[in-house]
Structure formats: C-alpha cells, structure tokens
Amino acid sequence: MSWMNSRMGTAGHPVWIGGFNLLPYRQRDARLARRCCLLEWLGAALIGCTAVLAVAGWQMFERSRLDAQRAASERELAALAVPLSELARLRHDAEEQGKRGARAVALSAPLTRLLDLLDTLSRVPADGVVLQQLRQHAHETELLATSTDPVASAVWLKQLSTIHGVKSSEVADLHPLARTGHDASAIGSGPVEFAARLRWDEPLKEVVQAVASARAHKRETDKPRGAR
C-alpha cells in the first residue's frame, strides 16, 4: 500500500510530489518464496539425476556380473564337451546293444520254444499217444497225433500246457479212427486222431519290460544329486 503526497496545481490538476511504501515486507517475502521454490526445483532435479545415475550404475554392475557368469558357464561347458559326447556315445551304444539283444531273443524265441517242447515230449509219458506231425510258428505250435482214446489225448495235451511260455492249448480237430472186430462194438472210446495248438506268449513282452525297467533305473541313477 502506497501513500501519495500531492497538491493542486494552478489548473486544478494534482501534482505528484513523492510517496513511500507502507508494506515493504511483502516484496521481501515474494522474493524469498521465489528463491525457495527455485531451490526446491533444483534439489528435486538433483535427487532425480542421482537416482537415475544409481539405477544405471546398478544395471551396468548386474550386466557385467551376468556376463562374467555366462562366460564362466561357457568355459565349464566347453571343458565338459568331450566327457558329455563320450557319455552320449556310451548311452547310444548301450541302447543299440539292448535293441540287438531284444531282437536276438525275438528271433531265437521259436527255436527256444521248440527245444523246450521237444525236451518235454521226451520226458512226458506218452500213455498211448503217438505224435505224427509238429509245426512250429512264431506264436503257436501245431500238433497232429493219435491216441488210444480221447481221455489219453486230453491228459497228454494238459501236460504240454504246463511248459513255460505256453499261454493256452486247445484241440482244433478230433475224429475217431476206423475200428474193426471187438473194438468196433465199443462206444465213446477207441483210437482217435486229433490236431492241437499250443499258443505261446508274445516273445518280446518280457524283454521289452526288462529293457524299459533298466532304462528307467539308469535315468534315475544318472540324475544329479538333489534333483527332484
């Protein structure tokens, strides 16, 4: 607020003769407020720049640390390249050996079964049964034989069904043989000719299960300690 001193001139107009400010502290407070605001802006800008520099420095530090770790890992992998390739080769050789073993078992299964059958035939008492023909296939054996009566053929076939690997046995055909004299009067008994089949289990079933179990055990043993 200013107080003006004036007086009237000759023409009736006021003439300025000077004045003074009755509230001088307002200008001083305004200057101080502007100065404080400027200082606060400068402080905020300085703090922001410091934070940005700190984040940038931390990122650079982390990047350099990760680069060092990656370089160390690459060196370790390079050092393990030869042992890993050798381990892969050994695993491949083991798998190939297992496949060859399974194939050998599959190919030798019919011969093994035939030998088991012949061994059993040599030990089982015939009791009036005469084997006429034998045909060995991959999964079954065809038998053609004669017997003194159907009961003897059934007992003989039941004994053969106990051979290891035999899944089932059945009579495919049975018909009586021609009889003469006193035997012709008997009804429900007498010599018969019959064809039978022995069905075997799948040759690779046990082998495949054994190979799969061995591979699973190998994978478990190859896991690093502490891995879940």
| Chain segment 187-213, per-residue pLDDT in tens | 556 789 999 999 988 654 555 555 556
Classify residue 2: in a domain, yes or no. Answer: no
CB-neighbour burial class of residue 62 (10 A; exposed 0-12, middle 13-18, buried 19+): exposed
pLDDT band at residue 125, thresholds of 50, 70 and 90? confident
Q: What is the pLDDT of residue 16?
A: 52
> Total structural domains in the chain?
1
Q: Does 12 have pLDDT greater than 70?
A: no
- Residue ranges making up the domain that contains 127: 106-207
Classify residue 132: in a domain, yes or no. Answer: yes
| CATH number of the domain where residue 126 is located | 3.30.1360.100
Q: How far is CA 77 from CA 63, 84, 86, 227, in A?
A: 21, 9, 14, 19
Q: What is the pLDDT of residue 188?
A: 54
Classify residue 3: in a domain, yes or no. Answer: no
Classify residue 114: in a domain, yes or no. Answer: yes
Q: Does 155 have pLDDT greater than 80?
A: yes
**Rounded distance, CA 68 to CA 118, Å?**
72
Classify residue 184: in a domain, yes or no. Answer: yes
Classify residue 138: in a domain, yes or no. Answer: yes
**Rounded distance, CA 92 to CA 122, Å?**
44
Lowest mean pLDDT among 101-115, 139-153, 209-223: 209-223
pLDDT per position as a tens digit, 38-69: 888 998 989 989 999 999 999 999 999 999 99
pLDDT band at residue 144, thresholds of 50, 70 and 90? very high
**Count of CB atoms situated within 10 Å of the CB of 192:** 19
Q: Which residue has the higher pLDDT, 21 or 41?
A: 41
Q: What is the pLDDT of residue 227?
A: 43
pTM score, whole prediction: 0.45
Classify residue 203: in a domain, yes or no. Answer: yes
pLDDT band at residue 121, thresholds of 50, 70 and 90? confident
Classify residue 123: in a domain, yes or no. Answer: yes
Q: Does 24 have pLDDT greater than 60?
A: yes
Q: Which residue has the higher pLDDT, 99 or 12?
A: 99
